[in-house]
Amino acid sequence: MLYPVILAGGIGSRLWPLSRAKLPKQFIRFPGNRGSLFQDTLTRIIGLPQLADPVVLCSAEQRFVVAEQLRQLGVDKSHILLEPLGRNTAPAVAVAAQWVTELDAEAEMLVLPADHVFADEAALRAAIQRAGAIVAKGEMITFGIVPGAPETGYGYIRKGESMPSQGAFGVAEFVEKPDLDRARSYLASGDYLWNSGMFIFKASSYLAELKQHAPDIYQACAEAYSGLIRGEDFQSLPETEFAACRSESIDYAVMEPTDRAVVMPLDAGWSDLGAWDAIWQTGSRDGAGNVVNGDVLLEQVSDSYVQSGSRLVAAVGIDNAVIVETADAVLVADRSKTQQVKEIVNSLQAAGREEAENHTLVRRPWGSYESVASGEGFQVKHIIVEPGAALSLQLHHRRAEHWTVIKGIARVICDEREFDLAVNESTFIPLGSKHRLSNDGDEIVELIEVQVGDYLGEDDIVRFDDRYGRAN
C-alpha cells in the first residue's frame, strides 16, 4: 500500500498577514483553489492505485483544524500524528515511517508538504506512478522540478547517471540556494532541477538509511515513538523525548549520504507558495499584470498583487507591489522583497503582538470567536458555538464576562446554576466563577461576550473539564 504522508507543520510567516501561527498558510484557501492547500494536497492524489488512508503530521495546536478539514473532504479514516515541537522533516518522517510499518511492513510512503500547488495534477500523478516501479526495487526517490527560471529561492539537485527505462536519474549532488549568476548557469546547463521536498520510498528503507547515516536521530525518534500517547483520534509524541532529537531535514540526514537516491524530473507547473511573489506568479493576471482579489480599486498600477479582506483597498501609481489587507493588519511591500516579510513577523513576535499569532477570527474545536472591539479594561467578542459543541468548564482569575444570545438557545453553567439563554437574554459570569457554555440544539448558537477586567489574555483560564482534551 502507498501511504500519503502529509507534512502539515510550519507557520508560513512569509505570507503574513494572511498566514499566522495559529492558522498558517497550509490551512487557508487561496483564491482559485478548490480548498485549503492542505485539502488540495490530498485531493490531487485521489485515484492513485493502492492508496492507503493518509498520515498527517502537524502540531498539537493544529489538530482540530486538520480533523475538520479532513471531515470536509469526506475523509473518514486517517492517522493524525502530533508533534509537540518542530524538528524538521527527518524526524517527522521517521515517526511516520514507524507508524506505517506497524500497519504494513511493506508500506511505501509518499511524502508531500501540505503547501504546494500544481497547474498540471495529471503530470504529478503520472510521475508518482512511474516512481513506484523504482521504489519497489528499494531506491529512494525525490521529485525534482524542471526549472523555468533562474530561481534563487530554491535548493537544486544535479542530475547524475540517467535511468532511461524509468525516466529518472541518479543524484549527483544536492546544492544549496544559489546566487543569481549561479542559478543562471544551472538553468543553462540543463543538469539541474529544483528541490521540491517531495519523496517516495519504502518506510523500511527510510528507517534503515536513517539508522545508518543519522543514528542519533533514528534512536531519538525510536525512543519518542515508544512513548507515543495513543488516542482514538490523535497520536501524540511525548515532548521530552521528541525534544531530545536534533532538528534536521531529510536531505541532510538521508538523501545526501545514501547511495540509493534517485531524482524523478517533474514538470507540472509547481510552486511552493513560499511568499507573496509566488502568489502573484501563480495567479490570474489582468492586462496590466495585476492579480486582484477582493474589493480593490486600482489606477495606474501594474505588475502588483492586491488583496482586500474586509474593506475597500485603493492604490494609485505604483508598480511591482504587494498589498494585503486583513481585518487587523495591512502589508505593503515591494514584490521583489516579499521573502523579508518574515522579519516583520519576527518583530511582532518579539513585541508579543497578537497579530503574529491569531486573526481577529479564531477557530476553536467548538466553533469560533471574533474580536469586535477592545480598549482599556474591556473586550467584545462575537462567539459561535456549533451544534452539539461545548466550551470547557473553566474559570478566570482576572476578568468577568457578560453574555447576550443573538441566535439559538445556549446552555449555561455558572457555579451551582444550570439554565438556558434564548435570543435577547443575558447573563453575568462573575470573576472566579466556574462556568461553561454549550449548545445542545440543532442550530448554531451566537452570542456577544463583553469581557471586563485588568487582564484579558487567553491564558487567563483554568480548565476543569474539556471534551477536546485541552489542558490549561
Closest CA to 29 of 270, 279, 234, 237: 279
Contacting residues for 354 by C-beta, under 8 A, at least 6 apart = none
Are both 2-271 and 361-465 of the same fold? Answer: no
Indicate the residue type of 355: E
Q: What is d(CA 304, CA 388) in angstroms, rounded to the nearest whole number?
A: 45
- State pLDDT tens for residues 104-143: 999 999 999 999 999 999 999 999 999 988 898 889 999 9
Measured between alpha carbons, how far is 203 from 199 in angstroms, rounded to an integer? 11
Q: Is 180 helix (H, G, I), strand (E, B) or coil?
A: helix
188 contact partners, CB below 8 Å, separation of at least 6: none
In this prediction, residue 34 carries a pLDDT of 87
Q: How many C-alpha atoms does 356 have within 13 Å on its Cβ side?
A: 13
- The span from the CA of 239 to the CA of 227, in Å, is 10
Show me where the domains of the chain are located: 2-271, 276-341, 361-465
Confirm if 250 and 157 have CB atoms less than 8 A apart.
Answer: no
Which fold would CATH assign to domain 361-465? Jelly Rolls (2.60.120)
Residue 11 is predicted with a pLDDT of 86
Residue 207: predicted pLDDT? 97
Residue 23 per-residue DSSP state: B
Environment class of 170 (CB within 10 Å of its CB; exposed 0-12, middle 13-18, buried 19+): middle
457: Cα separation from own chain's centroid: 25
Residue ranges with strand state E in 290-329: 291-293, 296-299, 305-307, 313-316, 321-325
Buried/exposed code over 124-146 (b: 16+ C-beta within 10 A; e: otherwise): bbebbeebbebbeeebbbbbbbe
Side chain identity at 314, as an amino acid letter?
A: A
DSSP state of 227: T
CATH of 2-271, one of 3.20.190.10, 3.40.50.300, 3.90.550.10, 3.40.190.10: 3.90.550.10
Residue type, 248: E
Q: How many CA within 13 A on the CB side of residue 36?
A: 21
List Cα–Cα distances, 42 to 31, 160, 176, in angstroms. Answer: 18, 31, 29
Rounded (10°) CA dihedral 436, 440, 443, 448:
-20
| HSE-up (13 A, CA, CB side) for residue 408 | 22
Which positions ≥6 away from 25 have C-beta within 8 Å? 12, 15, 18, 19, 37, 115, 273
Torsions phi, psi for 26 (to 5 deg)? -65, -20
Contact by Cβ (8 Å): 286, 205: no
Query: Cα(398)–Cα(440) distance, rounded to whole angstroms?
Result: 29
Q: Across-strand partners of 448?
A: 382, 404
DSSP state of 29: -
Residue 201 near residue 135 (C-beta atoms within 8 A) = yes
Name, in order, each residue with C-beta under 8 angstroms of 353's C-beta and a sequence gap of 6 or more: none
In the chain, helix, strand, coil percent, each to 5?
A: 25, 35, 40
Residue type (1 letter), 393: L
* DSSP helix/strand/coil, 121: helix
Average pLDDT across each block of 10 residues of the chain; the chain has 472 residues. List them in order: 95 94 92 89 94 95 92 94 95 98 96 95 94 88 94 92 86 93 94 96 96 97 96 93 96 95 95 92 94 97 97 98 96 95 96 92 92 93 96 96 98 97 97 97 97 93 90 64
Largest CA distance in the chain: 76
Q: Residue 316's pLDDT is what? A: 98
User: Nearest-CA neighbor of 330 among 313, 350, 305?
Assistant: 313
Q: What is the pLDDT of residue 138?
A: 86
At 296, list the grid cell.
480593490
